[in-house]
Chains A and B, each alone.
Chain A
Amino acid sequence: MFNRLQTKLTVLYAGLFALALSLVAVTVYLAIVGNAQQTVRKELTATGTVFDRVWALRTQRLQDGADLLSRDFGFRAAFATRDAPTVESAITNLRQRLGLDLAFTVSVEGEVIGIDPGQLDLEKLWTALDGETGAQGVFVVNGAPYQIISAPILSPNLTGWIVFAARLDRREMQALERLSAIGLEAQVFDRRGQAWITDSITADTPRLAVFVDTAIRDKAGKPSLLKGKAGESLVLVKPLKSLSSDSAAALVLRYPMALAMAPYRPLMAGVILVGLIGAALVAAASWALSRGLARPIMALDDAARRLQRGETVHVTVQTQDEIGRLADSFNHMATEIRDREAMITHQALHDEETGLPNRRALEREITTRLAQVVPGQHVVVSATGLDRFTFVRSAIGYELATQLITELGARIGLISPETFIGRLTTSTLCVVGTHDDVETTLSRIEAVLTGLEAPIRVRGELVDIHMTVGVATTIPGGPDAPRVIEQSMIALDQARAARRKVMLFDPVAYGDPSGNLSLMSEMLEGVANGALFLNHQPKLDLRSGRITGVEALVRWKHPTRGMMRPDLFVEMAEETGHIRALTDFVLTQAIADQKALRAAGHDVLMSVNVSGRLIDDAEFADRAIDLVAREGARVCFEITETAVIGNPDVALGVLDKLAAAGIPVSIDDYGSGLSSLAYLKQIRADELKIDKAFVLKLEAGGKDALLVKSTVDLAHSLGMKVTAEGVETREALALLQLMGCDIAQGYHIARPMALEPLTTFLEGWSIDMPTDVEAGTLKHA
């Protein structure tokens, strides 16, 4: 509720003022009430005293009248002689003269003259009159209280009493009320039995009766406060003498406090009014003050939020106080934050060396462009690689090489101002553009490349530059920014590999590296569930014309992708370290197949391909040797070429072990790739397999035939057998035979086949060897 400073301050000040004022008002009120009560008390007491006097005077007046009559000789004579008419006329006369309510006589015998005896309790009256000479007091006649005065009639002894009675009614009370300075209310209560009765009944009468009872019993002579239905009033109870000892009467003087308070009401109203006006003024003043205080704070608060959201903010505060200074500090801070943020953003998005946008900036640009392209347009990302950059850099130095890149970026910017140019790697710039047609773009890139490759002058020196461009494109929903950059980089690699200047990313050639790992785990599953299996390609002994061996070739029928290309997944297995598991499988399966063939009566040498990466794996070799020995198998390890043998010492040890175990080793795919004479020297092998690239073109003569011939001779001279792969024609077979090649393998002899067809094949094998003639002569079929 009070989360605003302004509200808090206003409520606090106004509240404090209102509290103080309330205290003042309460104090004033209490003082007034006390004062008013005091006044009323005094007045009540005074009126009580006055009443005593009035009562006494009236009593005296009545008494005088009664005495006068009681001593009149004629009256006494009439009374003593029971002359009732005379007596009655006498008292009526006196009653009228004195203005009395009642006047009558009571004889000592209990006879009453002047009033109907049924209207009063005669026995009680007689007892009271007889009990005291000149008895007087309040007595109930005909249900109403009367002030009774009596005088004895002596003639000369007591013969009766004259009784005068004045009614204590409302009229009488009003006369009494008029005597008071304040408008108090007088009332007579008389007790009949236990109840206090009065003639003027109000809502407060029962309460008042209880009050009177208590006051009489406590003999309270002072006014006290009574809370009635009509509000508080001060009440003074004056006991009145009762004629009869067993009854009681009281004069009740009452003054409502509301009346006493009435004169003070304007004063109280004034205090309250002034208080309210004061509170309103304080509230308004503190509202204004706190608004002056809170408004700049709110402005600062708002500015801080906007600053948080990254907006540019400036707070205007006019005041020179602490808040003004705070606002100044805030503005300084905001400016500095903005500058620093701009710097950080620049740093985050730019290459430090060249000042060109960096990869993050490029990604952002691509994303932005992707959001803006219209259908049919492509975002084209060109990874522009500076060829042989390391050479250039070592030639001209680090700093100038960087300058070169900067210069090149500027040059591209001049040619294609609509593009966005950034630096991807040390030697690669990236150009992001938006184009309608990819082919046109490629052509254009090729066209401008010539101009771009013009020598660049760096510090007065001309530097030759050559560039290759890898291009990748994307559209909304296509590869995202990091991906398309990656693809452009791959396209650059692909272009360099293909020795082309500009090349579009070829996804087919690239494959999907991210699928490789899952493919490998699927391959391992295939080993277990039989999706991987072996086909065997027979190897023909060119001297005997018999099939002396087979090469076990692994095949994989993928459950969803169909037959997998062996070179693809084998290479992948090599790259991902799964080659050992794959080789284990092939070896185990080959040995099992060999057993099956043996059982069918065919003893063939099983050639198993072993990756060059495994040749320095002693553990693999040990296990393989162990397995071969245990199964009594006859296998040959065809070692695929590999660029480097990781650990030559271990590799040599392995080869020695294999030799010792009687496992021949063959060098596979000799002649292509990286095989060299050094390799031959390093690897001590039993066999050399000439790559099919040479054998396929054998018939054409020329270099290939010479190479094959010399290789055969070289191998033989090194003590190795020679196997030729890719023999697809009878002519090739014949030539190889002539060249002295030992073993041939190829479609001309047999395709790789499963175990069962192989068995059949072996059963039916016969060949008409082309060169059973002398060297140089060929048989023609």
Chain B
Amino acid sequence: MRFIATLLLIVFFSSKALAGTLSVTVRSTDGKPVQDAVVMVYPGGQPTRGPITFPWPYRVAQQNIQFTPFVLIVPVGAEVAFPNLDKVRHHVYSFSAGNKFELKLYGREENRTVRLPTAGVAAIGCNIHDQMVGFIRVVDTAYAAKTDAAGVATISDVPSGSVVARVWHPYLRAMKNEKTLATTSVGNGTTRETMAVELRPQGGH
């Protein structure tokens, strides 16, 4: 068992011998860490071919009249589940181009899924509760992650070489709410990058 584990580790490391890690810290202009920023890396500037899977569930729950998580990264064509954990009913919709859907009034525990066919953003809201806003970032690259509470997103196993990396945040004050990182290549080991972004204030939405 231990052997297998050691072997697996060896395989794991050896198979990743030609890959590096990109760690991006996103901060706002006033120096505070920005959570829920999506970092997308395109090795060689190309989207990933073949199926993409992410280790987190493709699921946006409605809980306490909030979308959880606030930002979800899913690959193109993923089936996203919208379980209602509240006692009230919700009417979830997205008017985003390519990923338009509407889940009319449904109640607790009802599990609905929506396939999101287009890379881009699906801004989701609830027609009943205006304050409920969530974002699903539909990506066409396997190398994507969102920043944690410390504003850090770590993407492993990025093939060494030139990359195009972008940072997106639903409120980022920029075209399409995204900015391109200064990093143009990833070597072995960890490449660290910090980005300062300006966010639109969201009070009152």
- Interfacial residues, chain A to chain B (CB-CB below 8 A): 71, 73, 76-77, 80-81, 133-134, 152, 154-159
Interface contact A157-B130, CB-CB below 8 Å? no
Interface contact A157-B123, CB-CB below 8 Å? yes
- Closest A residue to B123 by beta carbon equals A157
Interface contact B133-A154, CB-CB below 8 Å? yes
Interface contact B133-A156, CB-CB below 8 Å? yes
Interface contact B125-A154, CB-CB below 8 Å? yes
B124 at interface (Cβ–Cβ under 8 A)?
yes
- Closest B residue to A81 by beta carbon equals B95
Residues from chain A with Cβ under 8 Å of B127 in the complex: 73
The digit string for B14-31, where 1 denotes a CB below 8 A from any CB of A, is 000000000000000000
Residues from chain A with Cβ under 8 Å of B134 in the complex: 156
Residues from chain B with Cβ under 8 Å of A80 in the complex: 95-96
Question: Are A155 and B125 also in contact (CB < 8 A) when A71-B130, A76-B95 are?
Answer: yes
Q: Which of B133-186 contact A (CB under 8 A)?
A: 133-135, 170
The number of chain B residues with a CB under 8 A from chain A is: 20
Interface contact B132-A156, CB-CB below 8 Å? yes
Which of B123, B132, B201, B204 makes the CB contact (< 8 A) with A155?
B123
Bound complex: CA A603 to CA B49 (Å): 200
Q: A155-B95, A156-B133, A158-B200 are in contact. List 10 more A-B contacts (CB 8 A).
A: A76-B95, A80-B95, A81-B95, A133-B201, A133-B205, A154-B125, A154-B130, A154-B133, A156-B130, A157-B123
Residues from chain A with Cβ under 8 Å of B135 in the complex: 157
Bound complex: CA A471 to CA B153 (Å): 170
Residues from chain B with Cβ under 8 Å of A133 in the complex: 201, 203-205
Interface contact A77-B205, CB-CB below 8 Å? no
27 A-B pairs, CB-CB below 8 angstroms? A71-B130, A73-B93, A73-B127, A77-B93, A77-B95, A80-B96, A81-B95, A133-B201, A133-B203, A133-B204, A134-B204, A152-B205, A154-B125, A154-B130, A154-B133, A154-B205, A155-B123, A155-B125, A156-B123, A156-B124, A156-B125, A156-B134, A156-B205, A157-B123, A157-B133, A157-B170, A158-B200
B89 at interface (Cβ–Cβ under 8 A)?
no
Residues from chain B with Cβ under 8 Å of A77 in the complex: 93, 95
Q: Which of B94-127 contact A (CB under 8 A)?
A: 95-96, 100, 123-127
- A609: shortest Cβ distance to chain B, in Å? 160
Residues from chain B with Cβ under 8 Å of A152 in the complex: 205
Bound complex: CA A71 to CA B134 (Å): 17
Determine chain B's interface SS by DSSP, over half rule: loop
Residues from chain A with Cβ under 8 Å of B93 in the complex: 73, 77
Residues from chain A with Cβ under 8 Å of B130 in the complex: 71, 154, 156
- Closest A residue to B129 by beta carbon equals A156
Bound complex: CA A104 to CA B170 (Å): 25
Q: Which 3 residue pairs spanning A and B have beta carbons closest together? A: A156-B125, A80-B95, A157-B123
- Closest A residue to B67 by beta carbon equals A156
Bound complex: CA A159 to CA B205 (Å): 12
- Closest A residue to B126 by beta carbon equals A156
Residues from chain A with Cβ under 8 Å of B201 in the complex: 133
- B65: shortest Cβ distance to chain A, in Å? 13
- A66: shortest Cβ distance to chain B, in Å? 14
Residues from chain A with Cβ under 8 Å of B205 in the complex: 133, 152, 154, 156, 158
- B126: shortest Cβ distance to chain A, in Å? 8
- Closest B residue to A109 by beta carbon equals B175
Residue among B95, B124, B127 having the largest count of chain A Cβ atoms under 10 Å: B95
Bound complex: CA A71 to CA B95 (Å): 14
Bound complex: CA A134 to CA B201 (Å): 12
Residue among B125, B126, B132 having the largest count of chain A Cβ atoms under 10 Å: B125
Bound complex: CA A156 to CA B133 (Å): 6
Residues from chain B with Cβ under 8 Å of A155 in the complex: 95, 123, 125
- B66: shortest Cβ distance to chain A, in Å? 12
Residues from chain B with Cβ under 8 Å of A76 in the complex: 95
Q: Which of B189-205 contact A (CB under 8 A)?
A: 200-201, 203-205
Residues from chain B with Cβ under 8 Å of A156 in the complex: 123-126, 130, 132-134, 205
